[in-house]
Amino acid sequence: MGILLLLIPISLLLIGVAGVAFLWAVDHGQFEELDRHGFDVLDDSPGEENE
Amino acid sequence: MTLSTISVQDMHCGNCVGKIERALAGIDGINGTYFNPARRLVLVEHSGDTDPAGLLRRIEDAGFHASLSRIETGGTAQRDLLKRLGIAGLAMMQVMMFAIALYGGAFDGMAETDRLLLQFASLAFCLPVVAYSAAPFFRGALKALRQGLNMDVPIALAISSAFLVSLANTISGSGEVYYDSVVMFTFLLLTARFVDDRLKARFEDANWSLADLPERALVVGSDGMAPVGLAAIDPGTAVWVEQGNQVPLDGTITQGEATLDESTLTGESVWVHRQRGESVFAGTMNRGPGFEIVTTAGLDATRIASIAELASRAQAEKPAVARLADRIARRFVPGVLLLAAVTWLGWQLVDPSQAFVAALTVLVVSCPCALSLATPAAITAAMTRLRQQGIVLTRSDALEQMADIDAAIVDKTGTLTVHEPVLDNVTWLTDPGMPMEDLLAATGMLERHANHPLARALSQAYPDSRGIRLEQVRVIAGAGVEGWYDGRRIRVGQAEFCRAPASQEHAVFLALDDRPVARFTVTDPLRSDAAAAVDGLKHCGIAVTMVSGDAHDRCAALAAQLDIGFAARQAPETKLKITRALQAEGHRVLVLGDGINDVPALAAADVSATVLESSHLVRSKADVLLLSRRLGALVELVGISRRTRRIVRQNLAWALAYNLTAMPLAALGFMAPWVAALGMAGSSILVMSNAARLLSSSETAHEQAAAQASKLTPEALQGV
């Protein structure tokens, strides 16, 4: 089971990356307003590509 | 008497409430304090000469962070929680994987080095969870050491002791480790807290406050328009409302006409049109072209402000059932700690090696007590749902009492009927000696000058002027309108004014040269949804009584059409008598009223409801405010209150049953700590999801779809 000595540190590393990515995503507002943007395509308010 | 709203961000539980209550108890001039842990608010009703800053200091002295109102929307707090939750979740996945290997190794045998490796790896993942994710619990518990127990104490105790024992055992290389229980416990607790916060956030979204109004409004001056802060705008100022913007203050339209989305105020998603001279309310959305208003109220006196104040009073005050749950919860924490200690001591006598696990399991299994979540979660959810339907409770007990209602007293005019009279028929009394069509057109034109509901009915019935010219038109207040046409004097108005014999009400006469020629009868048509709403109420076992000042036969016809009881030709005061009579028969009575003269009946009723248009006095006396005049809202209210009661009971029953079975099992050592963590979190989440059912139902989905469709159509058409 010597391979564990290699695989477990790798898993530590990968989870570390995932954790940092998650913190970044939360801090940059990726999880705010999950519903609204789905309706954006239906919004004809002026000022965007409609003009 | 003033009402101060104090926001206390670190008030989570019944214990904190108790402490703040005690801190404020000694201050003179306080009339009442209401607490709302869900919104972290304390409302203090105090005399004018009590300094709110003094109240803040008292609360700060008790160890809390207090600030005067401006409720924090919790955006950053929720992000913070999400981060802690995410980290705990990632770590949990790994630790559980190692735990399975370790459990397997414990049964089948495993090399010592592999076991140590897995334990250290678990430790590595567990560290950030304990140090970062669980930090709020430790902070809460530390605070509790200074101020008395709260739910964070057993949680922190369980996490820290399990972690420290595991750490010691890992280093020494012998004995059990509980990393899996630690991470899972933390993750599940955070999940429960996250769901709870989400519920509250949804409630905040559905609610509004003055904070939702724009900051500035375009004030129209002699040299163009300039943005001015809302608070600086006095009543009587001309304000321009741009397309797509919110109406900033209550006012009357002076230029243009408005297409408004009043759903923020009434919950009604169908857009309404308002003509010149009609009122518009702050907070509604202008969906049509811009228009000008003259403000009728300052920022603090707007309708939305007064509703927000009433609503926040209800939210800050705890319903009786929630107070009961609080009392139980307050005793619960010391009880849990005591039981854990007794368990530990007991096992020391029997089998010392089991003492720690059993005590730990007791701590874990009882947190954070579904019992204390059972009611607040359901009530928050119910209030959210009501708010979406345009129903505001001004007294928190009303929700519970509403469930018992079995009789309702409603007005006829304006409640069952639209309160917008329309022409019913015309009777010619004599031959006028000129074309009838011209006379009717002249009637319509004359009535356009009068500002009376009956006059409006006629002017709408005959909109076409047919090229007729009227001269010397004159409005005689309280009587009618007169004018000259073709050398003859025409009068339109009440019987006496037109020299006609007095007859039933709701009749308008037309006279030519002091001779009555025609009689117009006007009716108030039934609301389109009245029949469905009455049916709905009956379906809920509620007997509806219609009270009206109108004539007997008119009421009888209407009552027969709806199949309800009625009391006709009533003086307004008799509503009180009818209420009392019904109550004497053992009924729980709901009174819906909108006039000042309804106040005694509203006060006597078990639950009183009023509409947005009623005066401030009536609004402040009513338990329930229906923001839309739809009678259907009452059906909705009854339905939601009954469902809420059912869900609260289910939640309490579940929480009690769970704690009563799980705690003895844990104390007797029949339960592993990780099972306890699952059971604890499972029951909290179950209780909260049960409460969240109130937010949605199949009919809601349907309504929302309909609302979406009606909202999208005009915009979609513009795009075509």
Q: Give me the pLDDT at residue B326, please.
A: 64
| Length of chain A counted residue by residue | 51
Instruction: Check if the beta carbon of residue B635 is closer than 8 Å to that of residue B540.
Output: yes
| pLDDT value for B713 | 41
Nearest CA in chain B to A9: B121
Contacts of A19 in chain B (CB under 8 A): 86-87, 90, 128
pLDDT for res B36: 62
Cα separation, B364 vs B358, whole angstroms: 10
What pLDDT shows up at residue B714?
42
Instruction: Enumerate the residues of chain B whose CB falls inside 8 A of the CB of residue A21.
Output: none
Q: Taking CB atoms and an 8 Å limit, are A19 and B90 in contact across chains?
A: yes
| Confidence check: pLDDT of B101 > 90 | no
Chain B: nearest CA to A8, how far in angstroms? 7
Percent of chain B's residues with pLDDT above 70: 81
Put simply, the answer to whether B90 touches A22 (Cβ < 8 Å) is yes
In a mutational test of the B interface, the residue from A3, A35, A39, A44 whose CB has the highest number of chain B CBs within 10 Å is A44
Residues in chain B closer than 8 A to A4 (CB atoms): 114, 117-118
B563 touches A at CB < 8 Å: no
Candidates B82, B121, B128; nearest CB to A26: B82
Name the band, by pLDDT with cuts 50, 70 and 90, for residue B37: low
Task: Point out the residue among B87, B94, B718 whose CB comes nearest to the CB of A11.
Answer: B94
Of all residues in chain B, the percent with pLDDT exceeding 90 is: 6
Separation of alpha carbons B447 and B441, rounded Å: 10
Give how far A7 is from chain B: nearest CA, Å: 11
B180-233 tens-digit pLDDT? 888 988 888 888 788 777 777 776 666 655 456 667 788 888 777 887 777 778
Q: Is the pLDDT confidence value at B720 over 60?
A: no
Residue found by looking up tokens 């009716």 in the block: B523
Q: What is the pLDDT of residue B39?
A: 59
Asked if B114 is an active-site residue, the reply is no
A14 CA to chain B: closest CA distance, Å? 11
What are the tokens at A35? 């519903």
Are B280 and B240 in contact by the 8 Å Cβ rule? The answer is no
Q: What pLDDT does B596 receive?
A: 72
Please answer yes or no on whether A44 and B719 come within 8 Å at the CB atom: yes
Nearest-CA distance A45 → chain B (Å): 9
- The CB-side HSE value for B605 (13 A sphere, CA atoms) comes to 30
CB contacts, 8 Å: A18 with chain B? 90
User: What pLDDT, on a 0 to 100 scale, did the predictor assign at position B87?
Assistant: 94
Contacts of B550 (CB under 8 A, 6+ apart): B412, B413, B505, B568, B569
Q: How confident is the model at residue B83 (pLDDT cuts 50, 70, 90)?
A: very high
Q: Please list the residues that pair with B364 across neighbouring strands.
A: none
Region at B512 (left for phi over 0; alpha for psi -120 to 50; beta for the rest)? beta
Q: Do B715 and A12 touch (CB under 8 A)?
A: no
Task: Find the closest chain A residue to B712 by CA distance.
Answer: A42
The band of B514, judged by pLDDT with boundaries at 50, 70 and 90, is confident
- Mutation test of the interface with chain A: which of B79, B116, B243, B708, choosing the one with the most A Cβ atoms within 10 A? B79
* CB-based contact A15 B94, cutoff 8 Å: yes
| Residue B125 sits at the chain A interface (C-beta within 8 Å) | yes
Which of A26-35, B30-39, B396-405 has the largest mean confidence?
A: B396-405
Sequence-distant (6+) residues with CB within 8 A of A45 are B244
Q: Above 50 in pLDDT, residue B460?
A: yes
CB distance B87–A23 less than 8 Å? yes
Name the 3-class secondary structure at B585: coil
SS (H, E, C) B439-479: HHHHHHHHHCCCCCHHHHHHHHHCCCCCCCCCEEEEEECCC
Closest approach of A15 to chain B, Cα-based (Å) = 7
Chain A touched by B94 (CB under 8 Å): yes
Which chain A positions have a beta carbon within 8 Å of B79's beta carbon? 26-27, 31
Averaged confidence pLDDT in chain A: 78
d(CA B289, CA B287): 7
**Which band of pLDDT confidence, cut at 50, 70 and 90, is reported for residue B505?**
low
What pLDDT is recorded for position B362? 86
For residue A29, the chain B residue with the least C-alpha distance is B79
Q: What is the pLDDT of residue B322?
A: 65
What is the C-alpha to C-alpha distance for residues B556 and B575, in angstroms, rounded to an integer?
Answer: 17
Tell me how close the Cα of A4 comes to any Cα of chain B, in angstroms.
Answer: 8
pTM: 0.63
Contacts of B73 (CB under 8 A, 6+ apart): B201, B204
Choosing from B180, B261, B397, B411, which is the catalytic residue? B411
Between B451 and B66, residue with greater pLDDT: B66
3-state secondary structure of B625: strand
